[in-house]
Amino acid sequence: MTASIKPLVAGNWKMNGLKTDLGIAAEIARGHDGALRTKVDLAICPPATLLYPMTAALIGSRIATGGQDCSLRDSGAFTGEVSAAMLADAGAQYAIVGHSERRTLHGERDATVKAKAQAAQAALLVPIVCVGETKDEREAGKALAVVKKQLRGSVPEGSTGATLVVAYEPVWAIGTGLTPTTADVAEMHAAIRADLGRILGKAAAASVRLLYGGSVKPSNAAELMGVSDVDGALVGGASLKAEDFLGIARACG
Ligand SMILES: O=C(CO)COP(=O)(O)O
């Protein structure tokens, strides 16, 4: 944790969730009400189809919603794309960009991720820019260099803690039950903070929330959230169960 930063726990529902699952968000809102909400910010990034009804269901709570991706373009003949302005129109406050599943399955490169982050910022959304190395890259001792390159290519210049969140998600830890050691997380998050300092200036970099993501669950959250320069979590599978997501949130509080 960074003392001056209020942690953020964001749930990435990925391609899961129908209208019948909106009750999960309502249950999370009930659990966040009270002391917890003074200690930790929460966001849920459902599939685009649920953004509007989920935001509506969360009115009166302090839980934000976000998209899982956005187009780098404003509007026009781009079948299947969803613009950042559309996400904002549906009530989103965040947009995940550069998730490893987009980078791997959709061939998104750093320049695309950066353009998407800029599009999000232009629509007054806060992009959650994801970075992280593969298993091969870690085993080859290249994790720090890979993430540094992704940051340089993906983070819009001029961003501040109010307009940017960065998520470190080692690809090999996503959905696998594996997590890096706390020493590895500490090393990576310190390196990310230092690199952001070079890109954005030290003062801005000091206020950017750095989330850890990859197999976060209630049982390991306290340990991971206790690492310096970890300012919250980006949660996949465990965000689909209200009690698990709230357990992770409580570990930050
Ligand atoms: O990809 C993730 C969040 O964006 C992490 O997913 P899991 O928490 O399921 O490992």
Cβ contact 131:169 at 8 Å = yes
Instruction: Report residues whose beta carbon is within 6 angstroms of any ligand 1 atom.
Output: 12, 99, 169, 174-175, 213-216, 234-238
Phi-psi region of 64 (alpha: psi -120 to 50; beta: other; left: phi over 0): beta
Average pLDDT over residues 189-193: 98
Please report, for residues 156, 163, 234, the alpha-carbon distance to residue 149 in angstroms, rounded to integers and kept in the order given: 13, 21, 21
Integer Cα distance of 138 and 209 in angstroms: 23
Q: How far is the CA of 170 from the centre of ligand 1 (A)?
A: 10
- Minimum CA distance residue for ligand 1 atom 3: 236
Q: What is the pLDDT of residue 133?
A: 98
215 has binding-site annotation: yes
Integer Cα distance of 76 and 127 in angstroms: 22
Integer Cα distance of 236 and 252 in angstroms: 17
Q: Is the pLDDT of residue 250 over 80?
A: yes
How high is the mean pLDDT of the chain?
A: 97
Question: Please, what are the domains in the chain?
Answer: 8-252 (3.20.20.70)
Q: What is the pLDDT of residue 3?
A: 75
Cβ contact 101:108 at 8 Å = no
Model confidence pLDDT, tens digit, residues 36-47:
999 999 999 999
- Minimum CA distance residue for ligand 1 atom 6: 236
* Ligand 1, pocket-test mutation among 8, 14, 166, 248, most atoms within 8 A of CB: 14
Model confidence pLDDT, tens digit, residues 49-99:
999 999 999 999 999 999 999 999 999 999 999 999 999 999 999 999 999
Q: What is the DSSP letter of 228?
A: T
Q: How far is the CA of 77 from the centre of ligand 1 (A)?
A: 32
Atom index in ligand 1 nearest the CA of residue 130 equals: 4
Atom index in ligand 1 nearest the CA of residue 238 equals: 8
Q: What is the pLDDT of residue 4?
A: 86
Q: What is the pLDDT of residue 12?
A: 98
Average pLDDT over residues 13-32: 97
Average pLDDT over residues 198-209: 97
Token pair belonging to 153: 């290519």
* Ligand 1, pocket-test mutation among 129, 216, 241, most atoms within 8 A of CB: 216
Q: What is the pLDDT of residue 139?
A: 97
Q: What is the pLDDT of residue 2?
A: 78
Cβ contact 127:93 at 8 Å = no
Q: What is the pLDDT of residue 14?
A: 98
Q: How far is the CA of 148 from the centre of ligand 1 (A)?
A: 21
172 has binding-site annotation: no
Q: What is the pLDDT of residue 253?
A: 76
Q: Is the pLDDT of residue 171 over 80?
A: yes
Residue holding tokens 């390991």? 220
Write out the catalytic residue numbers: 99, 169
Cβ contact 245:63 at 8 Å = no
Q: What is the pLDDT of residue 221?
A: 98
Q: Is the pLDDT of residue 114 over 80?
A: yes
Share of the chain above pLDDT 90, in %: 97
Model confidence pLDDT, tens digit, residues 214-235:
999 999 999 999 999 999 999 9
